Structure 1
Amino acid sequence: MTTVPAAAIACGILLGAGLWLLLVRLPFMRPVSFVERIEPQLKAQNVESRLLMAADHNLTPFGPLERIVRPLIRDGLAKLGRFNLGSSVLARRLAQAGISKLPVHFRAEQLLWAVGGFLATVGLIALGAMAGRFSPVLAVVVAAGSAVGGFLFRDYWLGVQIRKREGRMMAEFPSLAELMALAVGAGESATGALDRVCRSARGELAKEFEKVLAETRAGKPLVEALQEFSSRTDLGPLIRFVDGIIVAVERGTPLADVLRAQAQDVRDTAKRDLMESAGKKEIAMMVPLVFGVLPLTVVFAVFPGLAALSLNL
């Protein structure tokens, strides 16, 4: 395929996409939603002038193109949301990663990653077509695979963010538990101990405690706020820590002893994890030792004898 047909195909694709965009945005192709029908009767609810409203910020550097395509993306996400059975699970995973986004916004970000991978692949395919190397079947498979891969890679990266954040929380947990135990032992209540931890510490776990404290100050019972915090994490030691606080608050048992025991439990768990990691590293070190160092040692030990024998011969 020469350069002229490849450019013609690219121009045809762009022209077709533009005509399709104009067609689907016509009034008779876009039904009026219920919100748009009742909006004129509810204008008294919002007396602010539209001229004084803050303009919407673009999420991507595409400028006007994003504003043109945004309604299509919103409609597509609304239709996909009907078949999305994991929105509650996704909201929980976003909370575990410390990302303050709605599930629909994360899905939109996934679509942007998919579109980015698709466009990058199409660009590479176009360069290959201009150079005379073009296979329609391979191009379609690679372009579709790159789009699906971009969509799934964003979900994988969310899992990586969750694991990194949970690692930081577990590293901070023993010190914060000891600080809470000292505060409770000095006469502070559970809420006061949380307040002291939030004012003294910085980190991911301190931010979670800040959320619990904010919910408590807003009128929610401390036990209920702690239970919601426990439901947002999958860390076993942290769940046991929160359950211990809940039991101590409900039954009136000494809270300082519970906190110290929980902190010691986490430190013992960290030591066991460190010993397990050291054992795995020790086994991994056997590979270069057996296949790298040991053969060289044998060569250096045997070569002088072989050289002496050859000289005597």
Structure 2
Amino acid sequence: MSPATWGMLLGGLAGLGLVLAGRRVFVIRRPPLAQRVLPYLRDVPSPGAPTRYADLDADPSRSAIAGVFGPVLRSAADTVERVLGGARSVERRLTRAGLDRTVHEFRIEQVQWGLVGFAIAAAWGLLRALSGQASPLLTLLVCLFAFVVGVLFRDNWLSSQVKSRERRILTEFPTVAELLALSVAAGEGPVAALGRVVQRSGGELSRDLGVVLAAIRTGEPVGAAFDQMAAATGLPLVSRFAQGVAIAVERGTPLADVLHAQAGDVRDAGRRELIELAARREVLMMVPVVFLVLPITILFAFWPGWVGLSLTV
């Protein structure tokens, strides 16, 4: 082949490569469909917003660790799931706790907590081995027990997270319900009032209402969105509130009266709970009086007489 032919062939290949590279750059730079649509849905987080769990690929070291230990952790999580079970209960508690993760991710967290307990027990066994008091069988049993305790403690902590979040929801509920009632009484529609309250308030209940508002603005009927909220929550008061709003919207009953009544019910329930808590704590308050103050009082009363009798004898 002549040099002109070689030059033409190489030039054609180079031009084809530049065209393919340019086309690929154009495809990469073009924003995806989600980025073009989501800015018009104000209540749905945009893809560029920071998330709670960063992608492991963003950090090469974490990506390498995940690549090495990820299959082992996933296998251990599957084993924990087979042993403990209760995936539906865990999924419901994760929803009630407001945690954005799957059951499998939670099982991986349980394995990690168990490994932390195993490491602490192994360090204790190593210290005993260095002091010459080690028993391999006892150390192994303690390590396994620490692993089980770590796994179960994470499950217990999830229940504590659920209770803490539900207490915060009950604290916020009367104020949010009154704000909704005021907005509706001022002439706004249910969706507009809900948007105003979500925009002006912050908290766990506002976050749940934000999810409801996002579902409504993406085409979900108002009643169905509130019915889903009632099914997801574990609080009877919030469930009755969501069902009451759904029924009021569907049947056209006065929504402001329903919201005022719901807020009053929550306040009454809070007062009853406070009275019951005070009645339970009343017994506990007697413990320092009976076991600390009373013995000291008796001692101060009888000790001088006892000393006087001893000197007389």
Point out the more displaced range, 289-298 or 267-276.
289-298
Kindly report which structure 2 residues correspond to 1:51-70, keeping only aligned pairs within 5 A, or say none.
56-57=57-58, 64-70=64-70
Q: 1:63 to 1:56 in 2, by over 3 A?
A: closer
Aligned to 1:20: none
Shift of 1:133: 1.3
**CA–CA distance in structure 2, aligned partners of residues 219 and 235 of structure 1:** 26
Contact 2:80 2:107 in 1 (8 A): no
Q: 1:80 to 1:55 in 2, by over 3 A?
A: closer
Aligned to 2:141: 141
Amino acid at match of 1:56: D
Aligned to 1:201: 201
Shift of 1:125: 1.2
Kindly report which structure 2 residues correspond to 1:204-243, keeping only aligned pairs within 5 A, or say none.
204-243=204-243
Contact 1:184 1:193 in 2 (8 A): yes
Q: 1:123 to 1:62 in 2, by over 3 A?
A: farther
Kindly report which structure 2 residues correspond to 1:7-46, keeping only aligned pairs within 5 A, or say none.
none
Amino acid at match of 1:202: G
Kindly report which structure 2 residues correspond to 1:1-313, keeping only aligned pairs within 5 A, or say none.
56-57=57-58, 64-77=64-77, 85-303=85-303
Amino acid at match of 1:294: L
- Tell me the matched-pair count: 262
- Aligned-residue Cα RMSD (Å) equals 2.8
Amino acid at match of 1:284: L
Amino acid at match of 2:92: R
**CA–CA distance in structure 2, aligned partners of residues 281 and 96 of structure 1:** 28
Contact 1:181 1:257 in 2 (8 A): yes
Q: Deviations over 1:149-194 (max 9, x none)?
A: 1111111111111111111010000000111111111111221221
Shift of 1:62: 6.8
Contact 2:77 2:111 in 1 (8 A): no
**CA–CA distance in structure 2, aligned partners of residues 204 and 125 of structure 1:** 43
Q: 1:144 to 1:57 in 2, by over 3 A?
A: farther
Tell which structure's C-alpha radius of gyration is larger.
Answer: 2
**CA–CA distance in structure 1, aligned partners of residues 107 and 56 of structure 2:** 23
Amino acid at match of 1:73: L
**CA–CA distance in structure 2, aligned partners of residues 306 and 77 of structure 1:** 67
Contact 1:58 1:66 in 2 (8 A): no
Amino acid at match of 1:69: F
Q: Deviations over 1:42-79 (max 9, x none)?
A: xxxxx86xxxxx862569x8774442121333355467
Point out the more displaced range, 87-96 or 77-86.
77-86
Structure 1 spans left out of the alignment, 5+ residues: 1-46, 49-53
Shift of 1:141: 1.1
Aligned to 2:17: none
Amino acid at match of 1:291: F
**CA–CA distance in structure 2, aligned partners of residues 84 and 307 of structure 1:** 64
**CA–CA distance in structure 1, aligned partners of residues 73 and 305 of structure 2:** 77
**CA–CA distance in structure 1, aligned partners of residues 161 and 84 of structure 2:** 22
Contact 2:56 2:66 in 1 (8 A): no
Q: 1:306 to 1:71 in 2, by over 3 A?
A: closer
Shift of 1:82: 7.0
Percent identity for Structure 1 against Structure 2: 42
